[in-house]
Amino acid sequence: MVDTHCHLDMEPMAYHEAEVIARARAVGVERAITVGIDLASSDRAVRIAHKVPGVYAAVGIHPSEVGVMSMDDLERLRRLADDERVVAVGEVGLDYYQLERHADTMPDRTIQSRAFDQQVSVAADVGRPVIVHARGAIADAVTIMRGYQPEVTAVFHSFDGTAQEAAMVLELGGYIGINNLLTYPKNQQLRDVVRDIPLERLVLETDAPFLPPQDRRGTKSEPADVAPVAAALAALHNVSLEHVIAVTDRSVSAIFGI
């Protein structure tokens, strides 16, 4: 298994990355992509990827952080994205959900859209896929990504959208990242949507240290917790766990080249 989205530089995993990855390997999670949310965390992600075998990096500026993004920042991001251990630009995108709740601190839609487009352009320039954060904004994120097709592959991270929104992503040629949201009892609608998404277009993730499995709600997660995501997906699609692992692994190789 591959955890396609975690944040190894965040507490409580920070400075213990090798032990975290060892625990992941013990349950069959062989590789992980640690993801930046600003330039500082992106730089940390690259350094972790160079230090810990089996770990790769994604670099990007999260929509909550783009209000102060400059052209110099974009150039720094471009240099980071060109590193040999970087397999994606992300997480980047749009977050209207938080904007509605924190309009005083979140960048507005225009700023978010411009920054997202600029970072996808960086991905196109360096030949990397994009890990998309689209919360309450999937349709607009798909619209921006259409301008970069078919050159840039998109993975819509931590998907919690509708069947119609999933169809938009699939029509785009994108992939959908699922995590332990799938295990939460209240998310039956999400399970219904994921059941109808072709397995070949899904990838596994944790978003660690966030979103632990249902049986450990209230704690922190780590890459090992991609295992219950795979098990839940196997049950939904009525296939073996081995089949889920094989199919999602092929997708990870196709998207990220790892």
Sign of the torsion formed by the C-alpha atoms of 136, 92, 158 and 143: positive
Determine how many CB atoms are found less than 10 A away from the CB of residue 225: 28
pLDDT digits (tens, 9 = 90+) for 212-235: 999 999 999 999 999 999 999 999
Q: pLDDT, tens digit, for every residue of 101-154?
A: 888 888 999 999 999 999 999 999 999 999 999 999 999 999 999 999 999 999
d(CA 39, CA 34): 13
Select the CATH number that applies to the domain covering 2-256 from these four: 3.40.50.12780, 3.20.20.140, 1.10.10.60, 2.60.120.10: 3.20.20.140
pLDDT of 240 above 90:
yes
Segments making up each domain of the chain, as ranges: 2-256
Residue with tokens 């069959």: 28
Q: Are 202 and 216 in contact (CB under 8 A)?
A: no
CA distance 87 to 174: 16
Please tell me the pTM assigned to this model: 0.97
Residues whose CB falls within 8 Å of the CB of residue 43, separated by 6 or more in sequence, listed in order: 36, 59, 80
- The pLDDT, as a whole number, for residue 13 is 97
Residue-wise pLDDT for 90-104, tens only, equals 999 999 988 888 888
Using alpha carbons, select from 108, 129, 111, 125 the residue that is nearest to residue 57.
Answer: 129
pLDDT computed for residue 103 by the predictor: 85
Average pLDDT over the chain, rounded to an integer: 97
- Residue 227, token pair as written in the block: 């295992």
pLDDT of residue 123: 98
How does DSSP classify residue 2? E
- Give the helix ranges, DSSP H, for the chain: 17-26, 39-51, 71-81, 96-101, 109-126, 138-146, 163-172, 188-195, 226-237, 241-256
CA gap 206, 11 in Å, rounded:
15
- Per-residue pLDDT of 38-77, as tens digits, reads 999 999 999 999 999 999 999 999 999 999 999 999 999 9
CB 122 within 8 A of CB 81: yes
Q: What is the distance between the alpha carbons of residues 173 and 201, in angstroms, rounded to a whole number?
A: 9
